[in-house]
Amino acid sequence: MERFFFYVFASEIRCPLLSFINKGQRSSNSLPLWLHFHRIVFKVDLSENMSLEVELQKRKTFGIVSHPDAGKTTLTEKLLLFGGAIQEAGAVKSNKIKKHATSDFMEIEKQRGISVATSVMAFEYRDKQINILDTPGHKDFAEDTYRTLTAVDSVIVVIDVAKGVEEQTEKLVKVSRMRNTPVIVFINKLDREGKEAFDLLDEIETQLDLKVTPLSWPVGMGQRFKGVYSLYENNLILFSAHGKQRDEEVIKINDLEDPVLEKNVGKMEAEELRHDIHMITSVYPEFSRDAYLNGEICPVFFGSAVNNFGVRELLDCFVDIAPNPLPRETEERWVQPDESKFTGFVFKIHANMDPKHRDRIAFLRICSGIFERNTNYYHVRQKKNLKFSNPTAFMASKKSVIDVAFPGDIIGLYDSGNFKIGDSLTEGEVLKFKGIPSFSPEQFRFVNNTDPMKTKQLNKGLDQLMDEGVAQLFTKEDNGRKIVGTVGALQFDVIQYRLKHEYGASCDYEPVNLYKACWVDSNNAAAMKEFIQRRKRDLARDTDDKLVFLAESAWTLKMAQENHPEIKFYFTSEF
C-alpha cells in the first residue's frame, strides 16, 4: 500500500499541543531548546489513519439467521441483487443441508464445499461495504453458526409469518443476546396466510426475549396482502409480486387520515391500518438508534423476500442504523477498531475439498488496524510470526486475493495446520479474543481405533478436525479413552468419512451413556483436589487440557452440584 509519512518539524509547529507543553515556561513563539535539537518530533502516518477511519465508517458486517426454510437464502440473494453483487436470482447456493441428506455425508461434504464460497459475501450499497456472513441453518451445524455470530456486529433474524418463532431461531437469538448484538427482525412470506402481526410481535417478545418496535406494518396478508406501511419513512408501499415495484407504488403519507389510504388499499384495510398504527404508537416504544445499538430494542420489518418486497426498505434502514465495526473484548483488554495496530481472530476453519491438498481456509475477522498482504503477523498461541501471500476476500460467490483489509472485513487465509478456532493474530501483542466458546455437546460416543498401524494418522486427523471445530474431543482421566462430543449426529459420520479419506485412518464408535459435559473449576484448591479424587471416573480433559465433568444424567449433574458446592460447573468452555 502506498504510504505518505509526514515528518513534523518541531520548530515549525504552533499547535495547541505545543502550547500545552510550553505552558508556564515561555510563550508559544519561543520553543524549548530540546525541540529545536530533536528536529523530528512526531511521525504521523496520516494516510493510514485517515483511510482506516474512512473504511471503518463504510463497513457493516452482519449475519442473517433463521430456522431452516424461513427464507434466509432468498433474502441474502435479494440483498446481493440490490448491491449489484449478483446479476440474477438463483446465483446464491443455499448453505443449508437439504432434508434428504441427513444421512448422506458425501452430500454434506459437497454442500459444505459450496458453502465456502457463500460463507461470506461482500457488496457495496449506498457507499457502504456490507459483509454478510452466512450461517448454516441445520441444527447439527449449530456450533458453526454460533461461532460465526462472534464475528458479526449485528444480526438480521428471518421469521416465517406462518410458523412464527421456531426452535433454531430461539437458540440463535439466544447466542446473539449473550453479547448484546443488535438485532433486526424480518417477518417473511407475507404473500401467504400466516399468524396475526400483533401475535407475532408477542411471540418475539416472549420467546426471544427481545423488546420490539415495528418499523413497517403489513396491510393484509396472503391473498389480501396489499403492501406495507413504513413507520420509518412514512410511506405506503403497494405490493406487486415478483419484485415488479414501480416508483408510483411508493406513496408518501404525511397524515394517516389522508383519504389516499382508502384509495389505494380499500376502506376496511385503511381503517384497520389506522387502528393498528395507533396501537403500535401507544404500546411499543419509539424507535431509538441508541437502544437498538445497545441491544435493548429490536426493529421489526414485514415483507416477502421471494417477491423482493419490503427488502429495499429493510436494507435502507439497515444501512442507516446498523453499527460499524464494534470493539472486541479480549482476556487482556478491549480492542477498539480504530487502533492503528492490526488484530484479528479466527472464527471458522474450512477444510479443503480436495483430499490431495490438506490445506484449509481459516476465516479471520479483522478487529483493528489494517491487515496487509505479505506482512509478518504474530500468531499468539504458537508464539511465532506468519506471513500470508494469498489472503482472500469474498465478493459474493467469487474469491479474490486482496492486498489490504480493514476492521469488519473477513478474510480467508490458506492454512496448513497452524490455526485453531479462536486463534489471534496481532502485530506482536499477546491478546486472546473472548466470546468464541465451545458449547456443551449433546451427543457422545467413544471412538476406537480400528487400524492400529494408523494410530498416528488417527490422532493427527482427530486433532485437526477438532481444531476446525467439527466436534469436541475429551480424554478420560481414568483410562485415557477418547470420547467425541457433538451437537448433532451428522458430525459422527463426517468425522469417520474425513478420517478415512483425508488421513487414511479408520475408527468406529461405541455408545456411551452421557447427558452433558460441563467445564469445572473452583477458587478452592483443596475442594478441587478432593473433587478430582472422588470423581476421577467422571472426569476428562478437553483439547485445551481443561477439566470437564461428564454427567450421565441430569440427576447425576444435580447431585454433583449439590455435593460439591465449591465447584463451579459451566456449560460453555469460556467462563
Dist. CA 304–CA 307, nearest whole Å: 5
In the complex, least distance from residue 161 CB atom to ligand G4P, rounded to whole angstroms = 8
Closer CB to ligand G4P, 157 or 380, in the complex: 157
- Candidates 61, 73, 148, 486; binder of ligand G4P (CB under 6 A) is 73
Site for ligand G4P contains 71 (CB under 6 A): yes
Q: Does 192 bind ligand G4P (CB under 6 A)?
A: yes
Of the candidates 518, 341, 508, the residue with the CA atom closest to the CA atom of residue 440:
518
Instruction: Considering only the stretches 139-147, 185-193, 235-243, 458-466, report the one whose residues sit in contact with ligand G4P under the rule CB under 6 A.
Output: 185-193
Question: What residues numbered 31-70 form the site for ligand G4P, per CB under 6 A?
Answer: 66, 68-70
Question: Does the protein bind ligand G4P through residue 191 (CB under 6 A)?
Answer: yes
Q: Does 137 bind ligand G4P (CB under 6 A)?
A: yes
- Residue number, 52 or 306, with CB nearest to ligand G4P: 306
Residue closer to ligand G4P by CB (options 92, 465) is: 92
Q: Tell me: does residue 188 bind ligand G4P (CB under 6 A).
A: yes
- Least separation in angstroms between CB 269 and ligand G4P: 20
Rounded to a whole number of angstroms, the minimum distance from the CB of residue 222 to ligand G4P is 10
Phi, psi of 280 (to 5 degrees): -60, -50
The Cα-based distances of 299 to 172, 218, 220, 283, 506 in angstroms read: 17, 14, 20, 14, 50
Q: Which residues contact residue 19 at a Cβ distance below 8 angstroms, ignoring those fewer than 6 apart?
A: 28
* Closer by beta carbon to ligand G4P, 69 or else 372: 69
* Residue 431: strand, helix, or coil: coil
If binding is defined by CB under 6 A, does position 324 make contact with ligand G4P?
no
Min dist CB 226 to ligand G4P, Å, is: 15
189 touches ligand G4P (CB under 6 A): yes
From the centroid of its chain, how far is CA 22?
A: 49
CA distance 420 to 401: 22
Binding mask 291-320 for ligand G4P (x = CB under 6 A): -------------xxxx-------------
Assess contact for 483 and 445: CB atoms under 8 A: yes
Nearer to ligand G4P, 307 or 457 (CB): 307
Closest distance of CB 396 from ligand G4P, Å: 16
**452, amino acid identity:** P
End-to-end CA distance of the chain: 40
Instruction: HSE, CB side, 13 Å, CA atoms: give it for residue 4.
Output: 6
Given 72, 112, 350, 564, the residue binding ligand G4P (CB under 6 A)? 72
52, 59, 81, 94: which one binds ligand G4P (CB under 6 A): 94
Produce one character per residue of 407-428: b if its CB has 16 or more CB atoms within 10 Å, e if not: bbbbbbbebeebbbbbbbbbbe
Closest C-alpha among 446, 453, 543, 463 to residue 506: 453
Minimal distance in Å, beta carbon 188 to ligand G4P?
Answer: 5
Instruction: Please give the Cα distance from 328 to 333 (Å, whole number).
Output: 9
The three-state secondary structure class of 268 is helix
For strands 516-521 and 568-570, give the pairing: antiparallel
Stretch that binds ligand G4P, among 30-38, 188-196, 346-354, 392-400 (CB under 6 A): 188-196
User: Interface residues with ligand G4P (CB under 6 A)?
Assistant: 66, 68-74, 94, 96, 137, 188-189, 191-192, 304-307
